[in-house]
Amino acid sequence: MKVISVLLFLLSPIALIVGLIKPTIFQKIKIHNRKSVLLVFGGLFIASIIMIAMTTPTDKEPKPTTNTEQNTPTQTDESATKTLGVSYNQMMYILSNFFTMEKSTPVKGEDRYMGTTSNNLLTLEIIGKKDNITRASIIAPLPPDNFEINTESSVLLAQFLKNAIPEWKESTSWVADLLVKIEKITDSSDYKEEKVYENKQITVSYYGMIKGITVTIKHK
């Protein structure tokens, strides 16, 4: 069952994004507009998260944890430790269809680009040179009682991770597990988690009072 749920989690966001960009592509299966795309593929996406939750042990309470991969290479070049090895254009793959980006105030002398979605609910920040960025962050709401917003945030969070760490093939599954952990938080508790994949550090901060999440990726 978990294999099916993971496959749904991997495939439904792709169909959702494609459908939101060009809904007519699914006309042959009686899906004619963006609302239908959101209901069908967004529903499959949420269903996959629920299925993963059902197959995840419930005796583990959400708590701050630190997961660190052991094979972190030793850095000898100081400049190399500051970049992600990903360009601005790579970071904006697919996300450019949802975020309107503008150059913002520099941070410690580095270029900074910020943007929001059309509903102003999600914020994306990219810092560094366009050919090799140093840091990227996304802020997204995760309201449990709002299907459309929750689906949009979940899909864009997954794409954000895929763009920032393209070599991490399990990033989408990791996002799914993360969302399951957050879904189990029924009060206003906060949740923090850190993970290092190769030389990239992912920091997650969930704020229970506002039902929102911040994910930041930088070089370890």
pLDDT, tens digit (0-9, with 9 covering 90-100), for 118-132: 999 999 999 999 999
Amino acid identity at 158: A
Q: Which one of 14-18, 26-30, 33-37, 207-211 scores highest in mean pLDDT? A: 207-211
Residue 112, H or E segment: strand 112-117
Percent of the chain exceeding pLDDT 70 equals 65
Question: Has residue 218 got a pLDDT over 80?
Answer: yes
Residues 40 and 131 in one domain: no
- 1: tokens are 């069952």
Arithmetic mean of pLDDT, 44-71: 52
Residues 6+ apart with CB under 8 A from 183: 49, 53, 144
Helix spans in the chain (H): 2-21, 34-54, 88-91, 147-164, 171-183
| Residue-level pLDDT at 21 | 62
Q: Are residues 206 and 191 in contact, defined by beta-carbon separation less than 8 angstroms?
A: yes
Q: Facing residues of 203 across strands?
A: 194, 216
Domain shared by 43 and 81, yes or no: no
Is 118 a member of any domain? yes
Residue 96 sits in the same domain as residue 17:
no
Q: 181 and 129: one domain? A: yes
- Read off the pLDDT of each residue in 187-207 and give the average, rounded to a whole number: 94
Do 9 and 107 sit in the same domain of this protein? no
100 inside domain = yes
What is the C-alpha separation between 214 and 185, in angstroms, rounded?
16
User: Tell me, what's the pLDDT at 220?
Assistant: 86
Q: Are residues 16 and 113 in the same domain?
A: no
Do 25 and 87 have their domain in common?
no
Regarding whether 12 and 103 lie in a shared domain, the answer is no
Residue 71 lies in a domain: yes
Average pLDDT, the chain: 79
What is the number of structural domains in the chain?
A: 2
pLDDT at 179 over 50: yes
> 85 with 47, same domain?
no
Rounded CA separation 194/152 (Å): 23
60 in any annotated domain: no
pLDDT of residue 72: 42
Q: Is the domain of 140 the same as that of 203?
A: yes
**173 lies in the same domain as 195:** yes
H or E element that contains 138: strand 132-141
Q: Could you tell me the CA-to-CA distances from 47 to 9, 39, 184 in Å, in that order?
A: 9, 11, 15
Among 159, 153, 140, CA closest to 207: 140
- Residue at 104 is within a domain: yes
Same structural domain for residues 164 and 213? yes
Average pLDDT over residues 168-196: 90
Q: How far is residue 136's CA from residue 91's CA, in Å, rounded to a whole number?
A: 8
Phi then psi for residue 71, to 5 deg, are: -90, 50
**130: domain range?**
65-219
